[in-house]
């Protein structure tokens, strides 16, 4: 595993990261890397620290100790919006859409950092305003089309069915123009067929947008089906990592998931 890792290829890396809430160690001695173009899964029982890891990567939490780098540069101390501007976008475990806004506006908002007109141009509607608005509208519609949401563009996000809301979250994250996409339980609450479609979609967008993808997931079919490498967390520590086959055979993982001595 260590030899597979080459410095120049690493996109995101966490070294000896710990996160302490009061007396609780949510994550400890967390070592992690993801190479450019990889699709990596993060699994583990409830409360293992998976979402905490996401929150550390995206700047929602600051690590108590340790170092996190993105593209070779430290991102510790940056605000979430600054990390997004460097190329990390995410979805949320408990969906966080802009629910009173339309599906189209949800996606348009995420283009924010890539829109090239100032406040004055917007207010006076001169200069690049119309051209840029037209461009982001077309790009937003293109994204919605990919996620089969184009015919719902004018609807309020809160009125979408659950599976569509999950897809909209991914579309919105892509609009932010990320190099690394973090998906927090993208298949939660989906039926097997929707999960299957989601799997295809993740594969497809990864190729199409040249993305690196890290996902948290409980659905083992999805994780084992698409991930190239998997990290298994338990009680805030990495207990195993490797290819899906390696992880599935690992006695520690079997013990963590099935209990007992194994």
Partner 1 sequence: MDKFSGMKYLKKNDAVLLGFAIVLFALLQGLISGKVLSSFWQLNVLIIGINIIMAVSLNLINGYTGQFSLGHAGFMAVGAYVGVVLTTNFHAPFVVALLAGGLSAAFLGFLIGIPTLRLNGDYLAIATLGLGEIIRIVIMNIEYVGGAAGFKGIPHHTNFAWVFWLTVIALFFIKNFVNSTHGRACLAIRENEIAAESMGINTTKYKVLAFAIGAGFAGIAGGLFAHCFYLISPNSFTFMASFNYLIMVVMGGMGSITGSIAGAFVVTFLSAALASWPEFRMIIYALALIFLMFYRPQGLFGYMEITSMRPLNRIFGRPGEKKEGGRTDG
Q: Which of residues 106-125 bind partner 1 (CB under 8 A)?
A: 108-113, 115, 117, 119, 122-125
CB atoms within 10 A of CB 140: 24
Considering only residues 10, 20, 76, 153, which one is a binding residue for partner 1 as defined by CB under 8 A? 153
Minimal distance, residue 217 CB to partner 1, in Å: 19
Query: Could you say whether residue 79 binds partner 1 (CB under 8 A)?
Result: yes
Contact region for partner 1 (CB under 8 A) — 17-25, 171-179, 217-225, 240-248? 171-179
For the CB of residue 85, give the shortest distance to partner 1 in the complex, in Å.
Answer: 5
Instruction: Please tell me whether residue 61 binds partner 1 under the rule CB under 8 A.
Output: no
Number of residues that bind partner 1 (CB under 8 A): 47
**Which residue in the set 90, 167, 179, 229 belongs to the binding site for partner 1 (CB under 8 A)?**
90
**Token pair belonging to 66:** 């340790």
Nearest alpha carbon to residue 201 among 184, 187, 217, 220: 187
Residue 39 near residue 213 (C-beta atoms within 8 A): yes
Residue 186 CB neighbour total at 10 angstroms = 24
Query: CA angle 226-231-237, nearest 5°?
Result: 160
Alpha-carbon span 134 to 140, nearest angstrom: 10
Minimum CB distance to partner 1 smaller for 170 or for 230 = 170
By CB under 8 A, name the one of 18, 37, 64, 129 that touches partner 1.
Answer: 129
Give me the long-range contacts of 150-154 (CB less than 8 A, separation at least 24): 152/103, 153/102, 153/103, 153/104, 154/102, 154/103, 154/104
| CA 196 – CA 226 distance, rounded (Å) | 11
Q: Which stretch binds partner 1 (CB under 8 A): 93-101, 223-231, 235-243, 247-255?
A: 93-101
Q: Does residue 35 bind partner 1 (CB under 8 A)?
A: no
Site for partner 1 (CB under 8 A): which residue of 18, 64, 69, 85?
A: 85
Q: Is 180 in the site for partner 1 (CB under 8 A)?
A: no
Q: Does 188 bind partner 1 (CB under 8 A)?
A: no
User: What are the backbone dihedrals phi and psi of residue 183, each rounded to the nearest 5 degrees, phi first?
Assistant: -115, 120
Which residues inside 132-151 make contact with partner 1, applying CB under 8 A?
A: 132-134, 136-138, 141, 150-151
Q: Residue 220 corresponds to which tokens in the numbers above?
A: 């083992």
What is the rounded CA–CA span in Å between residue 190 and residue 197?
10
Which residues bind to partner 1, rule: CB under 8 A?
A: 58, 60, 79-81, 84-85, 89-90, 92, 96-101, 105, 108-113, 115, 117, 119, 122-125, 129-130, 132-134, 136-138, 141, 150-151, 153-154, 172-173, 175-176
């Amino acid at each position: 595993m260590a030899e597979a890792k080459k410095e120049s290829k690493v996109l995101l890396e966490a070294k000896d990261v710990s996160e302490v809430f009061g007396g609780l160690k949510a994550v400890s001695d967390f070592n992690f890397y993801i190479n450019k173009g990889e699709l990596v899964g993060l699994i583990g029982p409830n409360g293992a620290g998976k979402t905490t890891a996401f929150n550390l990567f995206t700047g929602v939490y600051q690590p108590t100790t340790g170092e996190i780098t993105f593209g070779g540069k430290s991102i510790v101390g940056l605000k979430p919006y600054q990390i997004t501007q460097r190329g990390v976008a995410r979805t949320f475990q408990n969906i966080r859409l802009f629910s009173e806004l339309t599906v189209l506006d949800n996606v348009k908002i995420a283009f924010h950092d890539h829109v090239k007109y100032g406040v004055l141009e917007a207010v006076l509607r001169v200069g690049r305003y119309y051209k840029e608005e037209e461009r982001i509208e077309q790009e937003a519609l293109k994204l919605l089309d990919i996620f089969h949401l184009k015919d719902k563009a004018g609807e309020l996000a809160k009125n979408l069915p659950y599976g569509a809301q999950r897809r909209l979250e991914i579309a919105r994250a892509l609009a932010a123009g990320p190099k690394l996409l973090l998906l927090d339980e993208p298949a939660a609450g989906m039926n097997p067929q929707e999960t299957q479609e989601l799997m295809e979609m993740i594969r497809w967008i990864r190729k199409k947008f040249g993305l690196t993808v890290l996902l948290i997931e409980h659905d083992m079919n999805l994780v084992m089906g698409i991930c190239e490498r998997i990290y298994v967390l338990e009680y805030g520590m990495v207990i195993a990592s490797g290819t899906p086959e390696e992880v599935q055979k690992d006695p520690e993982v079997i013990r963590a998931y099935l209990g007992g001595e194994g």
